[in-house]
Amino acid sequence: MAYTDLRHFIQTLESTGDLIRVRQEVDWELEIGAIVRRVCEIGAPAPLFENVKDYPGMAILGAPLATYRRLALALGLDPSSHPSEMMRDYSRRIDSPIAPRRVQDGPCKENVRLGQDVDLFEFPVPLVHEGDGGRYIGSWHFVVTRDPTEGWVNWGMYRLMLYDETNMACRIDATSDCGRMLQRYEAERRPMPFAVVFGSEPLSDLASCASLRWGEEAARVAGGLRGEPLELVRCETVDLEVPASAEVVLEGEVSPGVTLEEGPFGEYIGYRGGARSLRPAFHVKAVTFRNNAILPMTCMGTPTDEGQLIRAFTMSASAQRSLEEAGIAVTGVWIWPESTHHTMVVALRRGGDHSGEEVANLIFGGKLGFWMHQLILVDDDVDVYNLKEVIHSFATRCHPIRDVRTFQGIPTASLMPYLTPEEKAAGVGTKVCFDCRWKGKSPRKISFRTAYPQHIVERVLENWQFYGFD
């Protein structure tokens, strides 16, 4: 059975030891951010801050999906599930989307603020890192927008900085689905309606991070992930719908050409990113929220947190689906979260008739090419989830000249710090593919699985604990 709301998920995390309730008073100014950053770096349980300074009755949930255990629990799987098992289950579900169910009311409507009653400082918005350009209300949330031409609805996660009581500044890449929609609204010289959702049940958040095709609606994907329809309720002031069980919902408009200063911010790449610059202004006209609202957040930085793990997970599934649809004999795809989701490993079946250059062109030339900076191709005897095997293949099978190919002038994520100022300004960069596959007859691999008869392997595994090993 799917989670009814974020609070249901919190109960599950607590029952498995994956959440702790922090009852001591904590400060929204840096202290909470520091705690969550430490949690992400050591893989500690998610903290639920129940006593936030200046905000009685409201709570902050930190790092809700920052570990494989919590991601597995969000999917309804055993918390010890291997990433490959989670990937297979996730891929199966997103291929069976379920349309949402419209309802008349929901918990997110327990409190309604309209017009002059809107005050974003009513919520415990943290100052996440020292040196951030402001308090970031949006670090784990999703923005809802509708395409003005085709009418479909997009969900996406774009960072949101609090500017004043009714305004936020949002960093949106022009190549993102929301960025493309905003350009269409501006071309028509009319405002773009939006809703921002905080604290939905976890699979809605996961769907908002998924690398979906243009026109593919995340609400339907969320239903597929849940195995049942997601309940949506109509907004108060804009023609959009949001999850009825959400903790907090902001509604408003982005007016053409209206901007606010935003940034910098401690980013998912593990460095401060995005110099202070003008970004689209999100003007909030209405707020709805639950009693004793819980505001979720993550604290981006060095790997791994939600910013790397969830994007790597969903993008890996999308890449494998795209390659399979192109007829590529792929046996595994994994984007290592530790690479800040910029390095992809693709395992290809030996004897396939597709060249490494063809695979690289498909990845770098598609939607995922914006994020991928390095592509590593390996044979099907390499486990893409095993970093030791990947590094061994990279070190022993990739010729430093023959098997390395660069691709220039490709749209790229401009936050990567090694890019030159010119590349960042142009929004393009250089990609590289390392072809770590045998090009001829391969020597025998010496490992536990390959250097012994099968009956010996099975005997050792069966007797492992009797030998005295854990």
Instruction: Kindly list the catalytic residues.
Output: 267
Asked if 138 and 123 count as a contact pair (C-beta separation under 8 A), the reply is no
Cα–Cα dist 7/222, whole Å? 18
Residue-wise burial string across 85-99, b where 16 or more C-beta atoms lie within 10 A, e elsewhere: ebbebbeebbeebbe
Residues in the chain: 470
Cα–Cα dist 182/158, whole Å? 13
Check whether the bond before 264 is cis (ω within 30° of 0): yes
Please count the other Cβ atoms lying within 10 Å of the Cβ belonging to residue 34.
15
29, burial (CB in 10 Å: exposed 0-12, middle 13-18, buried 19+): middle
Cα–Cα dist 113/288, whole Å? 6
Query: From the centroid of its chain, how far is CA 452?
Result: 41
Closest of 366, 453, 359, 351 to residue 403, by C-alpha: 359
Closest of 179, 162, 316, 339 to residue 268, by C-alpha: 339
Cα–Cα dist 282/181, whole Å? 14
Distance set, CA 427 to CA 364, 405, 422 (Å): 14, 21, 8
Q: What is the DSSP string of 422-464?
A: HHHHHTEEEEEEEEES-SSPPPPP-STTTSS-HHHHHHHHHTH
Please count the other Cβ atoms lying within 10 Å of the Cβ belonging to residue 308.
26
Cα–Cα dist 13/287, whole Å? 28
